[in-house]
Structure 1
Amino acid sequence: MSAGKPGKVSAALKARVEAGTLDADPLQANAAAALDRVSAELSQTKKSRGLLSGLFSSAPEAVRGAYLVGQVGRGKTMLMDLFFDQVSIREKRRVHYHEFMDDMHQAIAAFRKSAHGQGDRDPVAAVVKPVLAETRLLCLDEFQVQDITNAMLLGRLFEKLWAGGVTVVATSNTAPDHLYENGLNRQLVLPFISALKAHVEVVELDGPTDYRRLKFEGEAVYQFGTGPEVDAAMDRLWLKLTGGEQGEATVLSSLGRSIAVPQAAMGAARFGFADLCEKPLGARDYVRLSHAYDAVMLDHVPQFDRVRSDASKRFIQLVDTLYDRGVKLAASFAVPLDELAQDSKTKAEFARCVSRLVEMQSAEYLAAGHRETPVET
């Protein structure tokens, strides 16, 4: 990155500001510059590795990553989107922090049950090895240490990732010094926190404006009825949610399967009802979706009867998952909420779902951030 010339992340951010998609924000500009530095250094080490390949067997030193911290709605996810899209290396992976840690715990459990795990081999080293083989950049969304099982694993796991040359970029609502605050045996996590701060640049994004809240301010997130007027209203809301971007089709990976996303932009995803509720998707798929996006738009939710039993069950599960995570839902319904279920059996199944749908259009729900753990019901 030459002097005076903005990096790719800064350029992409500036283009959105100039197009009116985003408002200029000096904290976001500062974070983009930090991400440009990470991207440039990763690109440089990529060239160095190519030149020195075969001469040295040791892993390269990890590029110092970045840790974007701030309250909800300050643009962390949007900046991560720009960074991940712009960074030039292929060996990159983006995953929600909790999903990554769950994968590691499951891999460790599987290793211990295997023949390889019966001796003195270190299970953490064993499960990190395939990660190192295919990952030089690990992007973690919503880094948040909340339970003792993750807290106990963090130090050994990330020590081996960094030693293996993996660069970590993360977003979080919590500054490193406050991770696992008041947690059980927190003193055991302090060495990891010190190591984290040594391996990442902490970038604060705590400006006064909650951009996520502004997307929904004054908007009716539900439309009722069918036809071009309803579709046009949904199109207008979509463009407000995405800052004027139509979005692009993408794919989410979930337990080795692929979830097609017809439109995605600026932390929002848009689906037709059939895309999510008439395909063989399950709870884990909806959890994956809730981790990937702040807002979900669902077009053409029908009225339900017993003929649509499977679709209605998936719809209820989808709403429960989005609600538990605090994800915002915009949707068009063929009929009013209290008429979604046609017969008495379906109405009984829909009672809680309708109650949650009512709450999810409230100003209080729309103003709140993501929930880290499912709420009690």
Structure 2
Amino acid sequence: MPIRLSERWPEVSSDRLLSECVPPPRFSDVRFETYRPGPGEPSQADALGVLRERGEILAEPRRERSLWSRLRGSAPVAPEKPGIYLDGGFGVGKTHLLASLWHVSAGPKMYCTFVELTNLVGALGMRPAVEALSAYRLICIDEFELDDPGDTVLISRLLGQLVAAGVQLAATSNTLPDRLGEGRFQAIDFLREIQGLAAHFDVRRIDGPDYRHRGLPVAPEPWPDALVEKAADERPDASCDHFVDLHHHLAELHPSKYGALLDGVGTVGILDLRELTDENVALRLVVLADRMYDRDIPLITSGVPLDRMFSPEMLKGGYRKKYLRALSRLIALANAVTDH
């Protein structure tokens, strides 16, 4: 009997939210040595070099160096800016580099997405969050987003206090491929919104095609309903939900619980996938897609093809970058399933 996500009601404590602030399983084994800059993409090799240099510094235990060691130059020289920001399009390896930096760094350290960080601050409260996170030497923030001014102001306040406490920061963001300057406005917006923090960040642009779609079709053909249900019955720990039931259930859960919703799930099956026209429903599906991608959970769907899940109007709107990221990830998860 397949799992019904729409019948699960997970509870997630703030302690769990904090303890889960590590790279997702699909990035647990990545290292700088496994990153392969694309041929003809010098910005990727440049970003790798910059992150390696920071990793050498952060690999050392946090301590005050003696005058003699500084004169001898026996340890790497600290960067001028405490923050590094990787700006680029989809699937160019920014998360790979960010997770690699986390892996080589000495603790205490933290890794989360922007959404997970806002959820954490909401769960803990601003003052307790500052107190807890000030103890970290490095905080890595994947997928920094600027489409919610309230969240941006909240995190800007938090990061300002963390930088003042001596915390090193590393962040990434996806950008819109058709924006002027190939998405450079995303980095500019980031710097403008955090104002006082602007001088603390070294912004690096990473160019290149989306590696997840090299040689792959835009989207796989949807499965018939009966085959989705059959596969969910046969696969261990598979879930199977009607799309309407699933998105109604997501509306009743805080997004911070979407990861726990997937606990123990090995494959996600969705029946009767439909084109979305409601932004609220679409944004919840984006968060679920991120949590599925973090856990590398294969996806089987019937209904409309995945590349038609978001309406043309949505793909032209203010949340376009989120929807494109979700499509890129969902298609990769769906292409991981080959037997039907």
What's the TM-score, normalizing by structure 1?
A: 0.49
2:86 alignment partner, SS class: strand
Q: State the 1:77 CA deviation.
A: 1.9
Alpha-carbon spacing, 1:321–1:149, altered in 2? closer, same or farther (3 Å):
closer
Asked if 1:273 is matched to 2:225, the reply is no
Asked if 1:65 is matched to 2:80, the reply is no
Partner residue, 1:162:
163
Mapped to 2, the partners of 1:319 and 1:150 lie a distance apart of 19
Mapped to 2, the partners of 1:63 and 1:276 lie a distance apart of 48
The answer for unaligned runs of 5 or more in structure 2 is 1-29, 68-77, 176-184, 243-249, 273-280, 327-340
Q: For residues 264-303 of structure 1, what are the structure 2 equivalents within 5 Å?
A: 272-274=237-239, 284=255, 287-288=258-259, 299=267, 301=269
Q: Residue 34 of structure 2 aligns to which amino acid in structure 1?
A: A
Mapped to 1, the partners of 2:306 and 2:149 lie a distance apart of 31
Partner residue, 2:275:
none
Q: For residues 240-279 of structure 1, what are the structure 2 equivalents within 5 Å?
A: 272-274=237-239
Partner residue, 1:87:
104
8 Å Cα contact 1:61-1:165 kept in structure 2: no
Partner residue, 2:95:
77
Q: State the 1:164 CA deviation.
A: 1.2
Q: State the 1:171 CA deviation.
A: 0.6
Partner residue, 2:323:
371
Partner residue, 1:176:
187
8 Å Cα contact 1:31-1:203 kept in structure 2: yes
Partner residue, 1:244:
none
Q: State the 1:152 CA deviation.
A: 3.5
The answer for unaligned runs of 5 or more in structure 1 is 1-7, 53-59, 109-122, 182-188, 232-269, 305-317, 338-353
8 Å Cα contact 2:218-2:307 kept in structure 1: no
Partner residue, 1:129:
131
Q: State the 1:178 CA deviation.
A: 1.9
What's the TM-score, normalizing by structure 2?
A: 0.54
Q: State the 1:106 CA deviation.
A: 4.1
Mapped to 2, the partners of 1:90 and 1:276 lie a distance apart of 40
2:63 is aligned, of 41, 48, 71, to 48
Alpha-carbon spacing, 1:320–1:31, altered in 2? closer, same or farther (3 Å):
closer
Structure with larger RCO (C-alpha < 8 A, sep 6+): 2
8 Å Cα contact 1:101-1:150 kept in structure 2: yes
CA displacement 1:142-191 (0-9 Å, x = unmatched): 1122333234334432221011121111111354322397xxxxxxx4xx
CA displacement 1:227-269 (0-9 Å, x = unmatched): xxx99xxxxxxxxxxxxxxxxxxxxxxxxxxxxxxxxxxxxxx
Root mean square deviation, CA, Å:
5.1
Mapped to 2, the partners of 1:66 and 1:105 lie a distance apart of 25
Aligned length: 244
Q: State the 1:221 CA deviation.
A: 5.9
Partner residue, 1:29:
45
Alpha-carbon spacing, 1:23–1:220, altered in 2? closer, same or farther (3 Å):
farther
1:102 alignment partner, SS class: helix
Mapped to 2, the partners of 1:195 and 1:284 lie a distance apart of 28
CA displacement 1:127-146 (0-9 Å, x = unmatched): 3011113x211111111223
Mapped to 2, the partners of 1:23 and 1:211 lie a distance apart of 12
Mapped to 2, the partners of 1:319 and 1:177 lie a distance apart of 26
Mapped to 2, the partners of 1:289 and 1:359 lie a distance apart of 27
Mapped to 2, the partners of 1:38 and 1:164 lie a distance apart of 19
